[in-house]
Chains A and B, each alone.
Chain A
Amino acid sequence: MEYFLQQLVNGVTLGSIYGLVAIGYTMVYGIIGMINFAHGDIFMIGSFVSLIVILGLFSVGITWIPLALVLVLAISMMITSAWGWIVERLAYRPLRNSFRLAPLITAIGMSITLQNFVQIVQGARVKPLPPVITGHFTLMEKDGFAVQISLMQIIIIMTTIFLMMAFSWLIGNTGLGRAQRACEQDRTMAALLGIDVDRTISLTFVIGAALAAVAGLMYLLYYGVIDFYIGFVAGIKAFTAAVLGGIGSLPGAMLGGLVIGLIETFWSAYFSVEYKDVAAFSTLAIVLIFMPSGLLGKPETEKV
Chain B
Amino acid sequence: MKSKPSGPVSTPFSSAVADAGIAAFIALLLTSLVLGLRTTDTPAGLVLVPRTGLVVLAVSIVFFGRLLLNMLRGKKIPSNLRINTLAEYHSRFFVWARKYSGRIFLTAAFLLPLILLLAERQTGARMPLRYWFDIATLVLTYIMLGWGLNIVVGLAGLLDLGYVAFYAVGAYSYGLLAQHFGFSFWICLPLAGLLAAFWGIILGFPVLRLRGDYLAIVTLAFGEMIRIVLLNWYQFTGGPDGLSGIPRPDFFGLTFKRFGDHTFHGFLGIEYSSLYRILFLYYIILMLALLTNAVSRRLRRLPVGRAWEAMREDEIACRSLGINTVNTKLTAFATGAMFGGFAGSFFATRQGFISPESFTFIESAIILAIVVLGGMGSQAGIVIASIVMIGGFELLRNMQGLKLVFGDGFDPSLYRMLLFGMAMVAIMVWRPGGLVSARRPTIFLTSGKTERDKRARKGEKQ
Q: Do A and B come from one complex?
A: yes
Residues of A within 8 A of B (CB): 29, 35, 45, 48-49, 51-53, 55-56, 59, 75, 78-79, 82-83, 86, 89-91, 94-95, 98-102, 104-106, 108-118, 120-123, 125, 127-130, 198, 232, 236, 239-240, 243, 247, 274-275, 277-278, 281-282, 284-286, 288-289, 292-294, 300, 302, 304
Contact A278 B34 (CB under 8 A): no
Given A35-B216, A104-B372, A122-B39; 9 other pairs, CB 8 A cutoff? A55-B37, A94-B432, A106-B428, A108-B368, A108-B424, A112-B418, A274-B228, A275-B229, A278-B228
- Specify which of A91, A100, A113 is in contact with B429 (CB 8 Å cutoff): A91
Contact A281 B222 (CB under 8 A): yes
Assembly CA distance A45 to B32 (angstroms): 13
- Specify which of B40, B214, B368 is in contact with A292 (CB 8 Å cutoff): B214
Say if the beta carbon of B187 comes within 8 Å of chain A. no
Contact B421 A110 (CB under 8 A): yes
* A125 partner residues in chain B, CB cutoff 8 A: 41
Contact B39 A105 (CB under 8 A): no
Best-buried of A112, A243, A289 by chain B (most CB within 10 Å) = A112
- Specify which of A99, A110, A129, A275 is in contact with B425 (CB 8 Å cutoff): A110
Select from chain B the residue with minimum beta-carbon distance to A86. Answer: B30
Known: A91-B429, A243-B217. A105 touches B225 (CB 8 A): no
Contact A102 B211 (CB under 8 A): no
- Specify which of B33, B41, B54, B228 is in contact with A52 (CB 8 Å cutoff): B33
Q: Is the interface of B mostly helix, strand, loop or mixed?
A: helix
Identify the 9 closest CB pairs spanning chains A and B, nearest first.
A109-B424, A112-B421, A113-B421, A281-B221, A98-B432, A116-B418, A109-B425, A274-B232, A116-B417
Contact B316 A304 (CB under 8 A): yes
Question: Count the A-B residue pairs with Cβ separation under 8 angstroms: how many?
Answer: 190
Select from chain A the residue with minimum beta-carbon distance to B51. Answer: A121
Assembly CA distance A113 to B422 (angstroms): 6
Known: A116-B418, A300-B211. A239 touches B217 (CB 8 A): yes
* B424 partner residues in chain A, CB cutoff 8 A: 105-106, 108-109, 112
Number of B positions contacting A (CB below 8 A): 65
- Specify which of A79, A111, A281 is in contact with B224 (CB 8 Å cutoff): A281
* B1 partner residues in chain A, CB cutoff 8 A: 89-90
* B228 partner residues in chain A, CB cutoff 8 A: 274-275, 277-278
22 pairs from A and B in contact (CB 8 Å cutoff): A48-B34, A53-B33, A86-B26, A99-B376, A104-B159, A105-B372, A106-B429, A108-B369, A111-B421, A112-B424, A115-B417, A121-B34, A123-B38, A198-B3, A236-B221, A243-B213, A275-B232, A282-B225, A288-B206, A289-B209, A293-B214, A304-B317
- Specify which of B40, B218, B425 is in contact with A113 (CB 8 Å cutoff): B425
Cβ proximity bits B46-90 to A, threshold 8 Å, 1 near / 0 not: 111000001000000000000000000000000000000000000
Cβ proximity bits B357-374 to A, threshold 8 Å, 1 near / 0 not: 000011001001100110
* A91 partner residues in chain B, CB cutoff 8 A: 425, 428-429
Contact A99 B232 (CB under 8 A): no
* B41 partner residues in chain A, CB cutoff 8 A: 125
* B213 partner residues in chain A, CB cutoff 8 A: 29, 35, 243, 247
* A284 partner residues in chain B, CB cutoff 8 A: 217-218, 221
